[in-house]
Structure 1
Amino acid sequence: MVAADPATVLFATAFATAFVGTIVASLAYRGYQRNDSDAMRFLAVGIAAITVGPFLVSYGLAPAVELPEAATLLGILLANIVGLLAILYSLEAT
């Protein structure tokens, strides 16, 4: 049995989450364009923020500017909060 490096497994899982999230967010955005629905636009933004935002913070921003772990975690949590608020707004706007 081959043991996988935990960092590699973590990156692959985070990448898969961001990839699938991008697909779902793009479908929601297409729904916004097709129906001119602000709720669908906010849903797309929320899904992207929850799925792609943490990946970009962890593997893009944090290494680029050498963020400490606490600041990286804060960025991830802020992306989640923004995403959840956008989804909440999309559900309440209907």
Structure 2
Amino acid sequence: MLESITALASALTAVVGLFVAHLAYRGYRRNDSPTMRALAIGIVCIAVIPYLILYLFDPVLGLTDAQSLLAITLFHTAGLLAIYRTFDR
């Protein structure tokens, strides 16, 4: 039961993240704004790619827990760095 709830919450996070990233990408295309492109990339790295790692790549590639955790942590870091780029300096 708890696994199902976790999978559902993860899927919902990925779907909402993909929607928000799509809106940011549309803003990039409409205004030719590198800031919005970086925001879209950051959101995908934080919300969508971890879901794909856990529920697609892990079963297909047979990743260990350490490999999955490392990959997710690296994508979270890349996403945060991309979002950091969106701030004016």
3-state DSSP class of the match of 1:67?
coil
Counterpart position of 1:45: 41
Partner of 1:25: 21
Are positions 1:70 and 2:66 aligned together?
Answer: yes
Distance 1:77 1:53 in 2: 11
Q: Tell me how far 1:53 sits from its aligned partner.
A: 1.0
Name the larger-Rg structure.
1
Q: Give the TM-score taking structure 2 as reference length.
A: 0.96
Offset of residue 79 of structure 1: 1.1
The runs of at least 4 aligned residues of structure 1 exceeding 3 Å deviation read none
Distance 2:75 2:10 in 1: 14
Instruction: Please state how far the C-alpha of 1:74 moved relative to its aligned partner.
Output: 0.7
Q: Distance in 2 between matches of 1:66 and 1:78?
A: 18
Q: 2:2 aligns with which of 6, 13, 23?
A: 6
Q: How many residue pairs get matched? A: 89
Where in structure 2 are there 5+ consecutive unaligned residues? none
Aligned CA-pair RMSD: 1.0
